[in-house]
Structure 1
Amino acid sequence: MAHSALLVMDVQRSIVDRFGNGGGYLARLREAVGAARAADLPLVYVVVGFRPGHPEISARNKTFGAAARSGAFTAEDPGNEIHPDVAPRPGDIVVTKRRVSAFAGSDLEMVLRAGEIDTLVLTGIATSGVVLSTLRQAADLDFGLTVLADGCLDADPEVHRVLTEKVFPRQADVLSVAEWASTLPV
């Protein structure tokens, strides 16, 4: 039998502020988190984070160069906090990553393997960032995958649509939060 976990990725205050609430995004994500808790599924929160001074970021890194210049995503940065609408509870796992994929520079794979988790349910900001990169790497690692399309958010709605309707279905089941929640035991 598959052991699943819900991944809530990059839902940090500064990222949510930059992307906005996307037509009730946080309410849908709260629904997914609540459904996972009710079904006793593990929740794994993935955050991007760096040491003071950002020694992990090369000057050649276009994605994270601005974070290094601004001092973002360190323990001292108040925007680094997971958004309180979906904040972890005691017992939830928080994994810190150093790149776009939830696996890059983190101990995520170790945590999943130790927990005998073989199926991932992906949510997060942005669809074209952490969700895409994590999905690709998780597929290569032979995890079963589900993407909650309305549990993901992207700055470009057309990119989100193409990924969730055309690209992701090649490697994952793509469901709405409500569809996924209806499949869980209560």
Structure 2
Amino acid sequence: MKTALLIIDLVEDTFGKHSHLPVTQAALAMVPRINEVIRACRQRGLPVIFSTDSFLENDFVFQGKMKPHSIRGTRGAEVYSGLDRQPGDVVLPKRRFSAFYKTDLDQSFRLWGVDTVAVTGIATHVCVLATALDALSNDFKAIMIEDCCASMSEDMHNNCLNLYRRSPLFPLFQVMPSQEFMEKIGSGEQG
């Protein structure tokens, strides 16, 4: 078994342009924990992928209530500088919610021998969940690291996670805290 770590949408716009949003405060609080998970994965030689929103100025998703952010080619669409990004890590721009949608992520994972995808980032109930479900749709096991994800409110975050804690998809889809995840990759159980 080989696990890859995905960090979803922790971009500069989240911490700058949209720093007033509740999800940003939760994201700031979890950055040290995500960095700890990144280092643990790196020590085991596991792939670390930063998947970033990279929208076009008049992108379809901005026709609803979502305000323009993370515009391709701007600093706002870059990986947040507070994250422990290293030269060997992968940055994967995406134009929609799932990191799998119209990217080469599934082919890369197969090339690398990955069979399990651990997902972190924002927002739990949108891009993190879409990516985890697409991992399953592409025949990869999925893990949502619960204390390394955040939503617009704690209720949204917990309601989403609770749906999948009791899911019949277990053990193909698991929700676990970062400490348990790091113990599993440390023991080789998830590495």
Give the TM-score taking structure 1 as reference length: 0.85
Query: Does the C-alpha gap of structure 1 residues 177 and 60 become closer, same or farther in structure 2, counting only changes over 3 Å?
Result: closer
Q: In 2, are the aligned partners of 1:95 and 1:107 still within 8 Å (CA)?
A: no
Secondary structure of 2:82's counterpart equals: helix
SS at match of 2:34: helix
Q: Give unmatched runs, 5+ long, in structure 2.
A: none
Q: Work out whether 1:175 is the aligned partner of 2:176.
A: yes
Structure 1 gap ranges (5+): none
1:35 maps to amino acid: A
| Counterparts of 1:59 and 1:95, CA distance in 2 | 19
Q: Note if 1:14 corresponds to 2:19.
A: no
Report percent identity of matched pairs: 25
- SS of the residue corresponding to residue 155 of structure 1 reads coil
- C-alpha change, 1:60 and 1:160, in structure 2 (3 Å) is closer
- Aligned counterparts, 1:1-186, within 5 A: 2-16=1-15, 17=19, 18=21, 19-22=23-26, 24-51=29-56, 53-54=57-58, 57-58=59-60, 61-62=63-64, 66-67=67-68, 72-75=70-73, 77-167=74-164, 169-170=166-167, 171=169, 172-185=173-186
RMSD over equivalenced CA pairs, Å: 2.2
- 1:67-126 deviations in whole A, cap 9, x for unaligned? 2xx6x4221x22212111214211111111110111113221222122121110010110
Deviation readout 1:140-165 (Å, 9 max, x if unpaired): 11111111000101112111111112
Q: CA deviation at 1:133?
A: 0.7
CA–CA separation in structure 2 for the residues paired with 1:124 and 1:168: 18
Quote the Cα distance in structure 2 between the aligned partners of 1:169 and 1:111.
Answer: 30
Scaled by the length of structure 2, the TM-score of the pair is 0.83
8 Å Cα contact 1:128-1:159 kept in structure 2: yes
The CA deviation at 1:168 is: 5.2
Superposition deviation, residue 62 in structure 1: 2.5
Q: Which amino acid aligns with 1:58?
A: F
Distance 1:20 1:59 in 2: 20
In structure 2, the CA distance between the partners of 1:21 and 1:58, relative to structure 1 (3 Å rule), is closer
